[in-house]
Structure 1
Amino acid sequence: MRIARERVTVQPCATSANLGPGFDSLGIALDLRDRYTLEVTTGATEVVINGEGAGELPVDDTNLIVRTLRETLEWVGAPQIGVRLTCTNVIPQEAGLGSSAAAIVGGIALARGILQDPNAIDDQAMLEIAASIEGHPDSVAPAIYGGACLAYTEGEEVRAVRLRVANAADGRPVLRPLIISPNRTLSTIAARASLSPDVRRRDATHNIARAALLVHALAEDPSRLFAATADRLHQDPRREHMPQSVSLVHVLRSQGVPAVISGAGPTILIPADAPGDIARIVSEVVEDPDDWRLARVPLAQEGIRTVLS
């Protein structure tokens, strides 16, 4: 497989995984995008990071984007290259908004963009590579396909389908996401380590029913969204790592707001119907309201974007 281009830019989007009951299977794409530009060189790896993660993320071959790029080139039998990578990051790091999924999907897209035959890495191949690196497909699927996605495994293969998302009675999209993020990070590895390997049958049954209801709520009946986002498997067990986030979710849900932990947290996602006085509610629950930011981020209808130069 030959390298055909010397420069390519990709724009991966943020994602929010789980959506409450859909642990490791459901996710949505958010229109908050990093920008990575690759220049093929003959020298050593150079990485420049602006914005989120500047001064913290690796700037050598251990950088996740570069590692993914190199793994993808190896996967298709293409030669390795010298890398000059410039990143402008707006997705918060280790916040539960899919920064690692963006890096992985972005790295694969960079490899695809410089190949003579980009069809060597179709979306299904991209999903399989990304899930093998990320370890679970719920965040990488919407980063590839956009919208709301359901990801699952079939034997050794990873599959994903894009879900239908209806409009509300007033014509607006059902999903009008609001994110609430504290100025702190949480490692996905640490968050997952909090989870017990054993699940009670009644809790598993609860989440199966609610995840199925969520698919219906998105496509047909938004009035079911609150009931459909209730979780019993992964949010409360992570309370020790993000006590304020979990407490805020409970307060919001006690008022009928379909709030969930976004991904591994500590960001909170309200997929729709955020109350008008949400800032007041946050200020009454958290210790330092100035340490939290609220932002409306539209659903991204398009996943990864590639700009060829």
Structure 2
Amino acid sequence: MSITPSQSLTVSISVPATSANLGPGFDCLGLALDLRNEVVVSSAGPLLLYNDERPTRYEVAVDGIDADKVPTDRSNLLIGTAETLFRAAGRRPAALAVRMTNRIPVGSGLGSSSSAIVAGLAAANAVVGGGFTERELLRMAVALEGHPDNVAPAMLGGLVLGILPDADAGPAELIVRRMEPPRLSAVVVLPDFWLLTSEARAILPPALSRADAIFNTSRFGLLLHALNGGEYDCLRVAMADRLHQPYRLALIPGATAAYEAAYEAGALGVALSGAGPSLLALTATDQEVIGRAMAGAFAAAGLSSRMWILEPSAEGARVAVGS
């Protein structure tokens, strides 16, 4: 049984890359970057009730960077995410064709999975009639990703702080605060090294000393002040971290040396991008010099690398719907 005679439309979605943590902002702070995945989703046939016996016919085509690493069947993250929204809406299309153009490298710490989640929710919401608000879509995205630091800036753009609900201490609902991004360039260097997020999480210590907790909270406060107030000379102190970076850098050959090389080349602030293995350096000048310094440190450890010089993006996901 269908709930509308037919449903045929095309949705174009553009989602930015993101860099999470930025040092001490572990699992709560992220920055959108002007490297974008583009997705075109086309629905056809009747709009079905979700529990209709007829399955949705999916077609997925992927091109661009790391296209061979992206599944083209129902295990594709965008398809799984769309199914989550279809289930919540109680309806789904008879057929859905997805064309993905990847510019965000997979498994890089630049939010490729978050881009798929945000695109999947935006596309599915348009296909079933746009019944979910941006706030509701963000809640879904955070529930799927597990934390807000990538999906929130991917959806909203800019520099975003996200605080998860906590049944004991509050808040009762997700808190998200978007800020304008810094007026700096982001030099990203990705070594040819596969680091599982699960491995990067497993290496973290189960507890912090009081001294390390004070270290991180003070740096996080200074980081927000520096990025919002343009006091970029504070970034080297503000982006220091004792919660996750020292442990994760040690997993990646040459990463500690590349981190130091970026500062020696003139970077204002340096951090692992997300869980890595990418390193991100914020700077106003000498982007190529800083990038080559980081790449050279990885090369000395036997790893080739890729480099991007990006700008922070004030714009999040873009969605255009046509028939």
| Residue pair 1:74, 1:80 contacting (<8 A) in 2 also | no
Following the alignment from structure 2 to structure 1, what is the Cα–Cα distance between the partners of residues 139 and 291?
40
Q: Unpaired segments of 5 or more residues in structure 1? A: 167-172
Alignment of 1:71 onto 2:84:
yes
| Residue pair 1:178, 1:274 contacting (<8 A) in 2 also | no
Paired residue type of 1:133: L
CA distance 1:23–1:283, change in 2 (3 Å): closer
Q: Deviations over 1:58-79 (max 9, x none)?
A: 1111100000011012122233
Paired residue type of 2:139: E
Match of 2:238 in 1: 228
Q: What is the TM-score normalised by the length of structure 2? A: 0.86
Alignment of 1:138 onto 2:149:
yes
SS in 2 for 1:199: coil
CA distance 1:184–1:83, change in 2 (3 Å): farther
CA distance 1:6–1:78, change in 2 (3 Å): same
SS in 2 for 1:93: coil
Match of 2:259 in 1: 249
CA distance 1:185–1:283, change in 2 (3 Å): closer
SS in 2 for 1:92: coil
Map 1:35-54 onto structure 2 (within 5 A).
35-41=38-44, 44-54=57-67
| Residue pair 1:24, 1:136 contacting (<8 A) in 2 also | yes
Number of residue pairs matched?
A: 300
Pick from 189, 192, 207 the counterpart of residue 198 of structure 2.
189
CA distance 1:189–1:79, change in 2 (3 Å): same
CA distance 1:158–1:83, change in 2 (3 Å): same
Paired residue type of 1:13: P
Shift of 1:226: 1.7
Match of 1:287 in 2: 299
Shift of 1:198: 1.4
RMSD: 2.2
Pick from 14, 18, 22 the counterpart of residue 19 of structure 1.
22
| Residue pair 2:262, 2:291 contacting (<8 A) in 1 also | no
Paired residue type of 2:271: V
Match of 2:283 in 1: 272
Q: Unpaired segments of 5 or more residues in structure 2? A: 46-55, 167-171
CA distance 1:122–1:79, change in 2 (3 Å): same
Which of the pair has more CA radius of gyration?
2
Q: How much identity, in percent, do the aligned residues show?
A: 34
Map 1:74-93 onto structure 2 (within 5 A).
74-93=87-106
Shift of 1:84: 1.1
Between structures 1 and 2, the one with greater strand share:
2
Paired residue type of 2:149: D
Shift of 1:164: 3.8
| Residue pair 2:212, 2:242 contacting (<8 A) in 1 also | yes
| Residue pair 1:226, 1:256 contacting (<8 A) in 2 also | no
Match of 2:51 in 1: none
Match of 1:238 in 2: 248
Following the alignment from structure 1 to structure 2, what is the Cα–Cα distance between the partners of residues 207 and 191?
19
| Residue pair 1:38, 1:86 contacting (<8 A) in 2 also | yes
Shift of 1:18: 0.2
Shift of 1:80: 4.9
Following the alignment from structure 2 to structure 1, what is the Cα–Cα distance between the partners of residues 308 and 66?
19
Shift of 1:263: 0.5
Following the alignment from structure 1 to structure 2, what is the Cα–Cα distance between the partners of residues 305 and 98?
16
Paired residue type of 1:63: N
Paired residue type of 2:101: T
Shift of 1:200: 1.7
Paired residue type of 1:267: S
